[in-house]
Structure 1
Amino acid sequence: MRCKISIECIFDNIYKIEVPLPQNPLKSINSYVIKGERSLIIDTGMNRIECEQTLKYALAKLDIDLEKTDIFITHMHADHSGLIGKLSTPQSIVYFTKEDAPYILGTNWEKFWLEEANYAKKFGFPIDSLSNAIKKHPGYKYAFRGNLLSKISYVEDQQVLNYGNLELKCIKTPGHTKGIVCLYEANKKLFFSSDHVLEDITPNISAAYENKNPLKEYLESLDKVYNFDVDMVLPGHRRIFYNLQKRIDELKKHHEERLNEVLNLIDTKTPNDAYKVASLMHWDIKYKNWEDFPIAQKWFAHSEALAHLLYLVDIKKAKIVIQNDRNYFLKT
C-alpha cells in the first residue's frame, strides 16, 4: 500500500514524522525520531492501520532498526501511545510516567471507562448519550490493547535520558493529563512540548474522575517551563515554533478569557450543569450549532467546560449544588 509521508530533518539526527489522524480534528500527530547507535521514537500515533503504515514506512526510509530502538510516550492519549504494541520489540524500552501507565497499558480498561462515564453523568452529560460517546471516543477505539513484550521504564521528573548526542531531561507538566511529560535539551535549547504547549491550537484541558482540577495543574505547569532557555519548540501537533514564552502568555490569556466566559454563563440563582454551559460556549469548530457537534466532540467540550467550572469553584467564584445526585454550578 502506498503511503503519503512527511519526514523532516529538524536538527542533527532528529526527524519529525507527520502521522495522519483520519477523520480527527487534530489532523495529524508529530512523531519524533532521534537517530543514533540506539534510536528513540517520541510518540507513535493511534492504534489504527493508517498510522501504523505511515510510521513504519517512514522509519524504514530512515533506516531505523526497531530492535535497536526505544520508545518514549509523553502521555496516555491514544494518538500518542496507541502503537506501542506494534513498534516495540523484546529488545525495546518503553518510557512513560507511572501516573499515566494504567491508561497507556489498558489496565482495568472497562472499569476505567465506566468510571469516566459515571463522572461525566454526575456533571450533566446526558445518560442516553454516554454509551455512544464512549464507543466513538478515539481514546476508546484506537488505544493500545494487549501485553507489551518490551521492558517498561517509569520516568521521573528531572530524570535525564541520553540518545544520540542529546541529554533529554524529563519535565512533568500535569494538566493535559496527570502524567504528561515534556523533554528539554538545555545544551541544544530544544523543548519537546508534547500537548503541553501547542502553537496553532490550544491543548484540551479536561476534567475527569482521575483529575479533579486539571486547569489549576495546567497553569502551574506553564509557569514551570516559562523560563526555560529554548530556541525551538517541538510540539505534539501542528507546526514547530520558536517563542515559548510568547505562546505561554497567549495560552494563559486564552484560559483567563475562557474563565470569564464560563463565569458569565452561570448565575447566582439558577443552577447550570457543565453540559449546558458547554452548549453555550464558543468553540472554534466547523459546526455552527451545538446539536450538530459529533458526540465525541460534545464529550471533549463538556470535559473542558467542567475543568473551567471546577477551577472557578477552587478560586471561590462558583460553587457546586447537588440535586438528584447531579452536580450543578452557581456563581457565588
Structure 2
Amino acid sequence: MIECILPNIYRIEIPLPKNPLKALNSYLIKDPRRNLLVDTGFNLEACRDAMDQALQELGIDMEETDLFITHLHTDHSGLVQHLSRPNNTVWMGKDDAEMFEANMREDLFIQTAGTLLFRSGLLLDGVPNHPQEEATAKYADRAFVPVSVVREGDIFLRGGYTWQAISTPGHTAGHMCLYEAQHKILIAGDHILDKITPNLGLWSFKYDVLGQYIPSLEKIAALEVELVLPGHRNLIADVRGRIEEIKQHHERRLQDVLQSLGKGKKTAAQVAQHMQWDLSYKHWDEFPLNQKMHAAAEAMAHLYHLVLRDQLIMSEDKGILYFQPAF
C-alpha cells in the first residue's frame, strides 16, 4: 500500500510475514535531484516484492535515491543490500553503522544472542542453545555494503523540506530520527510508536538502555512536532501525550521487575517469566525462542537500570548474572 501523506512524502507499507508487528512503514521523500528512502523491511521475498512494486509505481530509480536507515534492526535494514546501488548512499547512526558493517563480516548477532542466552539464565530455563533460530537473524543479507555515518544536526534537503538528523539512542544505541522544523514533522523509526512500546533490550553492558531512552524521549518532547511518522502502525498527532504514556509504561515496568524479583536472587530469565507481557501466549513455556530472548533482554535492561540507580545488586556466578534488592 502506498499513501501520500504530504506533498512528496509517501508511506510504503511493507509486510513483515510471521511477525507481530505485521508491517513496516517505509517512507519515500521524492525530490527532482535525489530521493530519500527511509527504512526497508526484512530481506524476504514478500518484502522485496512489496518494495520493488511500490518503487516502480512511484517511478523511483534507486540510482537517484539514497537510503536513510533509522536503526540496524533487520525489519528496517534488511533490504539495504537489495536497494543499494554504486551511486547511492546508505546513511545510518554511528553505533548502528559500526555494528551493521561488522555484522556483514561476521555474524555478531549470533555471538551477542549466544551471550544473552547464557548470561540471562535462559539456558538454565531449558532454552536450547540455538541463537541462530532467533527469527530476525535470518532476515538480513550478509553481502557487504558501505555505510555512511549520519550525525546529530546533519541536514538533508529533500522533497522541498529541510530534514535535520536527531540522535535518539535507546531502542538501539545509534537510533536516528529525521525532524522537519518548519512543517513540524518527525520521522521516528522505532523511537516512538502508537499503541505499542518499542522493545528496549540490553544486549551489551556498554549502555544503560533505559537511561538513554528516557532522555531521548524528553529530547523529542522539547521539539515542536505536530505529526510523527513512525516505523510501525499509525501516525501520531499528540507526540507529547504519547511520550508521557511511554514514560509511564517504563515506570510501571520497573515496578513490575521489582515485584517479579521479590526479595530473592534471580536471573533476568527468571524475572522475565513473571513479568506482564502484552502477548497472546498464556504461559512462559509457550513463548517462542525469539520472544523469550527479547523478554529476557528487556528484563535485563530494566534490571541493569535499577542496579545503576543503586536499587539492586548484580552479581555473577559461573558467568550467569543474578540480581537482588540492595536493601
Q: Give the TM bin, normalised by the shorter chain.
A: over 0.9
Matches within 5 A, 1:289-304: 289-304=283-298
Matches within 5 A, 1:100-179: 100-105=96-101, 106-126=103-123, 129=127, 131-132=129-130, 134-148=131-145, 152-179=147-174
Write the distance in 2 (CA, Å) between the matches of 1:286 and 1:64.
Answer: 39
How far apart are residue 22 of structure 1 and its match? 0.5
How far apart are residue 111 of structure 1 and its match? 4.3
| Percent of residue pairs bearing the same amino acid type | 40
Match of 2:305 among 300, 308, 311: 311
Which amino acid is 2:316 matched to?
I
Secondary structure in 2 matching 1:99: helix
Structure-1 residue corresponding to 2:65: 69
Kept in 2, the 8 Å contact 1:120–1:208? The answer is: no
Which amino acid is 1:225 matched to?
I
Kept in 2, the 8 Å contact 1:271–1:321? The answer is: no
Match of 1:276 among 248, 270, 274: 270
Which amino acid is 1:179 matched to?
G
Which amino acid is 1:116 matched to?
A
Write the distance in 1 (CA, Å) between the matches of 2:53 and 2:147.
Answer: 25
Write the distance in 2 (CA, Å) between the matches of 1:281 and 1:61.
Answer: 45
Write the distance in 1 (CA, Å) between the matches of 2:108 and 2:24.
Answer: 28
* Structure 1 runs of 4+ with >6 Å offset: none
Write the distance in 1 (CA, Å) between the matches of 2:180 and 2:157.
Answer: 10
Write the distance in 2 (CA, Å) between the matches of 1:162 and 1:36.
Answer: 9
Write the distance in 2 (CA, Å) between the matches of 1:64 and 1:108.
Answer: 30
Structure-2 residue corresponding to 1:198: 193
Secondary structure in 2 matching 1:76: coil
Q: Check 1:210–1:321 CA distance in 2 against 1; reply closer, same or farther (3 A cut).
A: closer
Which amino acid is 2:123 matched to?
P
Write the distance in 1 (CA, Å) between the matches of 2:49 and 2:99.
Answer: 24
Write the distance in 2 (CA, Å) between the matches of 1:325 and 1:145.
Answer: 30
Deviations 1:204-238 (A, max 9, x none): 00001264420110011111111211111000000
How far apart are residue 91 of structure 1 and its match? 1.2
Write the distance in 2 (CA, Å) between the matches of 1:55 and 1:240.
Answer: 20
Write the distance in 1 (CA, Å) between the matches of 2:205 and 2:28.
Answer: 31
Write the distance in 2 (CA, Å) between the matches of 1:161 and 1:209.
Answer: 31
Q: Check 1:91–1:210 CA distance in 2 against 1; reply closer, same or farther (3 A cut).
A: farther
Which amino acid is 2:198 matched to?
P
Show structure 2 runs of 5+ residues with no match: none
Structure-2 residue corresponding to 1:40: 36
Structure-1 residue corresponding to 2:314: 320
1:49 aligns with 2:45: yes
Structure-1 residue corresponding to 2:7: 12
Deviations 1:33-79 (A, max 9, x none): 00111111000001111100001101101111111111100101000
Q: Check 1:92–1:16 CA distance in 2 against 1; reply closer, same or farther (3 A cut).
A: same
1:217 aligns with 2:212: yes
Aligned residues: 323
Write the distance in 2 (CA, Å) between the matches of 1:17 and 1:125.
Answer: 37
How far apart are residue 164 of structure 1 and its match? 1.4
TM-score where L is the length of structure 1: 0.94
State the Cα RMSD in Å.
Answer: 1.5
Which amino acid is 2:149 matched to?
Y
Kept in 1, the 8 Å contact 2:29–2:36? The answer is: yes
Secondary structure in 1 matching 2:127: helix
Write the distance in 1 (CA, Å) between the matches of 2:2 and 2:253.
Answer: 36
Kept in 2, the 8 Å contact 1:212–1:310? The answer is: no
Kept in 2, the 8 Å contact 1:178–1:211? The answer is: no
1:208 aligns with 2:206: no
Write the distance in 1 (CA, Å) between the matches of 2:38 and 2:85.
Answer: 15
How far apart are residue 108 of structure 1 and its match? 4.1
Show structure 1 runs of 5+ residues with no match: 1-5
Secondary structure in 2 matching 1:320: strand
Which amino acid is 1:88 matched to?
S
Kept in 2, the 8 Å contact 1:20–1:28? The answer is: yes
Deviations 1:185-211 (A, max 9, x none): 001110011100001210000001264
Secondary structure in 2 matching 1:280: coil
Deviations 1:159-186 (A, max 9, x none): 1111111111100110000000000000
Kept in 1, the 8 Å contact 2:118–2:319? The answer is: no
1:60 aligns with 2:33: no
Secondary structure in 2 matching 1:215: helix
Which amino acid is 1:40 matched to?
L
TM-score where L is the length of structure 2: 0.95
Structure-2 residue corresponding to 1:242: 237
